[in-house]
């Protein structure tokens, strides 16, 4: 929704009446606030109906507040002049929904969450806050943002606006000790126990939904070490058990200032840079593979294409796998680096015509371990955690086979990560339809037959079915045939 000029004028009128604390005439309101005089009677009438403003009797006449500024919220004022506070038509009282199933519509749920956040913010900001904000911190500075590793209970301060708050309790041996010290030194006595219970590590993993949870609570923080002086604060906790991470924030409960926005932008910029460094590293390794003639440029694109097509069939046929678009995109782009460990294999072995000797084959079989170790040195951050996981699994496990006959770890069945299963199958197929120093190109149909008949190792039936369906698609066949003509 977009607030009208009338609403903007109403907020300014109420704030001006609150700051002056006396009867104000229509002429003065018009002059001081630059509001057309003809608007004021209409606006004040709506404010009077909600008992926010009252008309003053007397020869001069005018208006004054009927309530104290701290009793009037922005929501109260806006409700006087706006026909609806809903940000979407589907959130209005009549429950209109363009798709006619608001109870299960994900869009409706997202908009409802935004609406609740929006309403809560407006209700929390009082007119008294606007005209007399007092201390700068009263309008919301982040005091501390803590990142907790749920697995080993280690914690770090990601950000602290007033760093002395963190410094005073940062020597704690454990996260729970940190929370205990914080509550004892800075939290209003009546709120200490509930805040400690809200933030303690053993409570963070309760009531999770799909391994995740986001929750918040309000509490009072002591100001200037005065027991009876406090400001309202908000504690938020974001928990992701699958990633073993919890983010805890402690900030003022009123509004989110520019400082927080700037902080979030800096954090996003930092993570974006890490992600860029990650993909730059991947591109560099692929270029090295190409330079060493370990993989040709066109086959990099082929591997990515084949991986994506098989993944999409898996996503379509087996929704229980929970395959996301992000996973498909990331694994497809990472597939070409599956053989980066071969950089350390002597070139005379890789380009040898004919069958490798036993000791030579043992050298080749080390490349998955070498490649996986190389991925451990990739840039690492919150935005690259999944990328690092995929790259490690692809490099280490793409030669594992479903019956346990693969290498280097002899994994069996679903012990093999799905991304490695897909790239392993695609790698086997690509090797068959590509020319190598020791073999000729095979036709597409022959390569598919060999894969399905387990002549390149065992793969799961689900994966083979999806591969067969994808490989029969016109686009796949055309790509293979164009490669044969080159």
- Condensed to tens digits (0 to 9), the pLDDT of residues 130-183 reads 776 444 444 445 567 888 999 888 888 777 766 666 666 666 678 898 888 889
User: Considering the domain boundaries, does residue 336 fall inside one?
Assistant: yes
CATH number where 112 lies: 1.10.10.10
Measured distance CA(409)–CA(399) in Å, rounded: 9
Measured distance CA(140)–CA(234) in Å, rounded: 10
Please tell me whether residues 127 and 144 are part of one structural domain: no
CATH number where 376 lies: 1.10.3210.10
**Cα dihedral value 290, 292, 295, 300, nearest 10:** -20
* Domain limits for position 168: 136-256
Please tell me whether residues 50 and 119 are part of one structural domain: yes
User: Considering the domain boundaries, does residue 445 fall inside one?
Assistant: yes
Please tell me whether residues 302 and 334 are part of one structural domain: yes
User: Considering the domain boundaries, does residue 398 fall inside one?
Assistant: yes
Please tell me whether residues 456 and 443 are part of one structural domain: yes
Please tell me whether residues 150 and 214 are part of one structural domain: yes
Query: Is it the case that residue 258 has pLDDT exceeding 60?
Result: no
Residue 372, token pair as written in the block: 């996986």
Domain stops at, among 85, 107, 131? 131
Please tell me whether residues 218 and 73 are part of one structural domain: no
Please tell me whether residues 118 and 152 are part of one structural domain: no
Q: For residue 447, what pLDDT is reported?
A: 93
Domain stops at, among 236, 256, 276? 256
- What is the chain's mean pLDDT, rounded? 82
Q: Considering only CA atoms, which of 129, 250, 92, 265 is closest in space to residue 182?
A: 250
Query: Is it the case that residue 81 has pLDDT exceeding 70?
Result: yes
Domain stops at, among 131, 150, 171? 131
Please tell me whether residues 102 and 140 are part of one structural domain: no
Please tell me whether residues 431 and 396 are part of one structural domain: yes
Alpha-carbon distance values, 269 to 156, 251, 265, 274, 384 (Å): 20, 22, 6, 9, 13
If phi > 0 it is left, if psi is from -120 to 50 it is alpha, else beta; for residue 156 that is beta
Q: For residue 372, what pLDDT is reported?
A: 93
Q: For residue 354, what pLDDT is reported?
A: 78
Tally of domains within the chain: 3
Residue 391, token pair as written in the block: 């790259």
**For residue 280, what are the contacts with CB-CB under 8 A and spacing of at least 6?**
none
Measured distance CA(34)–CA(402) in Å, rounded: 76
User: Considering the domain boundaries, does residue 262 fall inside one?
Assistant: no
Residue 156, token pair as written in the block: 């770090």
What average pLDDT does range 459-471 have in this prediction? 95
Please tell me whether residues 227 and 148 are part of one structural domain: yes
Question: Contact, 9 vs 36, CB < 8 A?
Answer: no
Phi, psi of 33 (to 5 degrees): -105, 0
Q: What percent of the chain has pLDDT over 70?
A: 80
Q: For residue 483, what pLDDT is reported?
A: 67
Please tell me whether residues 290 and 185 are part of one structural domain: no
Question: Contact, 43 vs 13, CB < 8 A?
Answer: yes
**For residue 40, what are the contacts with CB-CB under 8 A and spacing of at least 6?**
9, 13, 26, 29, 30
Q: For residue 480, what pLDDT is reported?
A: 84
User: Considering the domain boundaries, does residue 261 fall inside one?
Assistant: no
Q: Considering only CA atoms, which of 58, 49, 47 is closest in space to residue 16?
A: 47
CATH number where 224 lies: 3.30.450
Please tell me whether residues 209 and 312 are part of one structural domain: no
């Amino acid at each position: 929704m977009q607030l009208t000029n009338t609403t903007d004028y109403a907020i300014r009128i109420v704030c001006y009446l609150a700051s002056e604390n006396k009867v104000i005439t229509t002429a003065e309101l018009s002059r001081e606030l630059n509001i057309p005089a003809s608007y004021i009677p209409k606006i004040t009438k709506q404010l009077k109906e909600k008992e926010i403003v009252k008309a003053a009797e007397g020869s001069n006449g005018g208006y004054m507040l009927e309530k104290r500024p701290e009793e009037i919220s922005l929501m109260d004022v806006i409700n006087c002049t706006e026909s609806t506070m809903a940000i979407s038509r589907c959130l209005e009282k009549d429950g209109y929904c363009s798709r006619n199933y608001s109870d299960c519509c994900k869009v409706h749920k997202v908009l409802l969450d935004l609406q609740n956040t929006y309403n809560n913010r407006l209700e929390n900001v009082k007119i008294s806050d606007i005209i007399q904000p007092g201390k700068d911190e009263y309008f919301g500075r982040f005091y501390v943002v803590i990142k907790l590793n749920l697995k080993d209970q280690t914690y770090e301060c990601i950000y602290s606006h007033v760093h002395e708050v963190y410094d005073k309790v940062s020597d704690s041996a454990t996260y729970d000790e940190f929370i205990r010290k914080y509550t004892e030194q800075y939290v209003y006595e009546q709120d200490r126990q509930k805040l400690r219970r809200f933030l303690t590590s053993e409570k963070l993993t309760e009531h999770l939904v799909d391994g995740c949870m986001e929750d918040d609570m309000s509490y009072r923080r002591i100001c200037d070490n005065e027991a009876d002086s406090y400001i309202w604060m908000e504690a938020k906790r974001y928990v992701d058990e699958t990633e073993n991470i919890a983010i805890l924030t402690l900030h003022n409960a009123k509004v989110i200032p520019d400082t927080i926005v700037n902080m979030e932008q800096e954090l996003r910029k930092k993570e974006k840079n890490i992600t860029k460094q990650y993909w730059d590293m991947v591109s560099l390794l692929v270029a090295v593979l190409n330079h060493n003639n370990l993989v040709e440029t066109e086959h990099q694109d082929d591997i990515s294409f084949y991986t994506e097509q098989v993944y999409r069939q898996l996503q379509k046929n087996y929704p229980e796998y929970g395959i996301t678009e992000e996973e498909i995109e990331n694994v497809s782009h990472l597939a070409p680096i599956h053989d980066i460990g071969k950089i350390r294999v002597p070139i005379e072995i890789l380009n040898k015509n004919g069958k490798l000797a036993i000791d030579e084959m043992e050298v080749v079989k080390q490349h998955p371990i070498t490649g996986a170790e190389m991925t451990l040195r990739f840039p690492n951050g919150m935005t690259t955690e999944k990328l690092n996981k995929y790259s490690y699994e692809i490099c280490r496990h793409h030669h594992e086979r479903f019956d346990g006959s693969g290498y280097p770890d002899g994994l069996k069945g679903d012990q093999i990560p799905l991304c490695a299963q897909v790239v392993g199958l695609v790698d086997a197929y690509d090797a068959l339809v590509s020319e190598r120093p020791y073999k000729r190109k095979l036709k597409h149909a022959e390569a598919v037959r060999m894969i399905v008949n387990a002549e390149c190792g065992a793969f799961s039936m689900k994966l083979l079915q999806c591969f067969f369906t994808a490989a029969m698609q016109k686009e796949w066949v055309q790509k293979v045939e164009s490669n044969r003509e080159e």
